[in-house]
Structure 1
Amino acid sequence: MTTTAPLHRGLRDFYEDPAVPVASGTARSLRQARMLAAALGPAANGTRTVLDIGCGDGTAAATAAPLLGGHRIVGVDWSQDALGRARTRLPYTVRGELTDGGLPFRTGAADAVLFSEVVEHLVDPDSALDEIRRVLRPGGHLMLSTPNLAAWYNRALLLAGVQPVFSEVSLRAIHGRPGREVVGHLRLATARALREFVAAAGFEIVALKGAPFHGVPRPLRPLDRLACAVPSAASILLLHARRT
């Protein structure tokens, strides 16, 4: 997962820790890949360059690759540990940071950016979107996914006075909410906030869809899938935007 520099030493150590999860659910990856494949069209119409920024261990991009056949997918991450694992799954990987000029690509070089489960980890998401906009060509596609602060179960948890799922108050342990893994979430958004944030950064919103969360207990997964029909209540937000 890519973060913006400079980072507090504790955050750098956290993201370079091999024990920190760097992959998310397959269902989210497939839904996002289908959205991107429909936007790009077949490679017969021209090979496109897709940057998976914050690629983690490359699992999401590798899952999407069969749906993006013929297009060039490049994994980008700040963490050297994550890139080492991504190289076993992706033919192209490069280190980059989401700062001004921190991505090693010329302006307008990319046709699309996958930005999956990254924005919630960022200290400075505004600068991150500025840099993504720089490397995208005009009309290029941004496919962003992030956990939903207003997921259906989080609404119930808040009413009960329980810390929402996905939110964290510490990088050392889970406090006051369900779950066991610390994953370094610094920011969370609702569907409305996410749309406004991305639009303010110079993007046209094309679509917002929902995806299920792989960490939902098995008995509740059918309900979680049903909630995807109402993106504002879904576990994961999938946003498709175009660079203006």
Structure 2
Amino acid sequence: MLTVDFNRFTLGPGMTVLDVGCGQGRHSFEALRRGADVTAFDFSQSDLDEVQTMFDAMAAEGQVPASGAYRTVRGDARAMPFDDASFERVIASEVLEHIVEDDAAIDEIVRVTKPGGLVAVTVPRYWPEKICWALSTPYHEVEGGHVRINKASELVGKLEKRGLTTLGTHHAHALHSPYWWLKCAVGVDNDTNPAVKAYHRMLVWDMMKAPALTRQAEKALNPVMGKSFVVYLQKQY
């Protein structure tokens, strides 16, 4: 399930891509399939081990173009072990809401991006996230959980203040908002609830089959209740 739209966040063969807070690697894998030189970066070594395993499997199955390359790097997004202007594309998807010192992470994202390079940042959208916080304390008060609810205007302001120019924005994953409201209402760890199980089955079916009905429904609903806010930017200097 991609949050960044790679039709808008364009990249070509051999381009250097950094996936900050890559998690389980969904955006790293897509960038690699498109022939990029991908660095998957995260604080969790267990997540990186899984990403490395998938990278290797993709290579073994011939899913990596000749121009593609990959590696995993562990570290802190607030002090990344990369030289200035190292990457042509930088992705930070659903990570800034986990970092107390998000200003430091944003500084690092801008620092490692090449002049003229593109940056994609995604965070949970303000009002769907606010409902989750209102329904459930455990949803956000856990180790490594969300430490803030981002307002789109404030986030964009922080990014532009550091020399990035906004190219466009959109919202994604409208069908996931009710799922998380439901989980927060019945208990975020209560995966045996019949309604939660049924909704989860529908989401898995949608992701696997991508039927026209749900794809068109989500497209129509994203501007209204998309769970994620996505902004694309360019570093000017």
> TM-score normalized by structure 1?
0.67
Pairing 1:211–2:172 present = yes
- What's the offset of the Cα at 1:168? 4.2
Structure 2 residue corresponding to 1:95, chosen from 74, 77, 91: 74
Corresponding position of 2:81: 104
1:81 aligned residue (33, 36, 46)? 46
Is it true that 1:36 corresponds to 2:17 in the alignment?
A: no
Task: Please provide the CA RMSD for this pair.
Answer: 2.9
2:24 equivalent in structure 1: 57
Shift of 1:137: 0.8
What pairs up with 1:1-244 in 2 under 5 angstroms? 26-28=1-3, 31-37=4-10, 40=11, 42-43=12-13, 47-66=14-33, 69-90=34-55, 91-99=70-78, 102-151=79-128, 157=131, 163=134, 168-171=139-142, 184-213=145-174, 215=176, 216-217=178-179, 218=199, 224-229=218-223, 233-244=225-236
**TM-score normalized by structure 2?**
0.69
In structure 2, how many angstroms separate the alpha carbons of the residues matched to 1:73 and 1:226? 32
Q: 1:72 to 1:214 in 2, by over 3 A?
A: farther
Conserved? CA contact 2:175–2:218, under 8 Å:
no
Rg (Cα) greater in structure: 2
Helix, strand or coil for the counterpart of 1:34?
A: coil
Q: Alignment length, in residue pairs?
A: 189
More helix by share: 2
Q: CA deviation at 1:142?
A: 0.7
Structure 1 residues 165, 224: closer, same or farther in 2, change over 3 A?
A: farther
* 1:170 aligned partner, one-letter code: E
Distance across 2 between alignment mates of 1:167 and 1:131:
30
Q: CA deviation at 1:34?
A: 2.7
1: CA distance, partners of 2:175 / 2:30: 15
Counterparts in 2 of 1:59 and 1:137: CA distance versus 1, 3 Å: same
Q: Deviations over 1:144-190 (max 9, x none)?
A: 11110124xx67x59xxx71689945217xxxxxxxxxx60112212
Identity of aligned residues (%): 26
* 8 A Cα contact 1:146 1:237, kept in partner: yes
- Deviation string 1:3-25 (CA, Å, 9 cap, x unpaired) is xxxxxxxxxxxxxxxxxxxxxxx
Opposite residue 77 of structure 1, the aligned amino acid is D
C-alpha separation between the residues in 1 aligned to 2:226 and 2:175?
12
Unpaired segments ≥5 residues, structure 2: 56-69, 180-198, 204-213
Alpha-carbon distance in 1 for matches of 2:76, 2:227? 27
State the distance in 1 between where 2:223 and 2:137 align.
Answer: 20
For the 8 Å contact 1:77–1:83, the answer to whether it is kept is: yes
Cα deviation, residue 105, structure 1 = 1.6
Q: Which moved more, 1:205-214 or 1:219-228?
A: 219-228
- Structure 1 contact 111–136 (Cα < 8 Å) conserved: yes
Amino acid at match of 1:226: A
Give the unaligned 5+ runs of structure 1.
1-25, 173-182
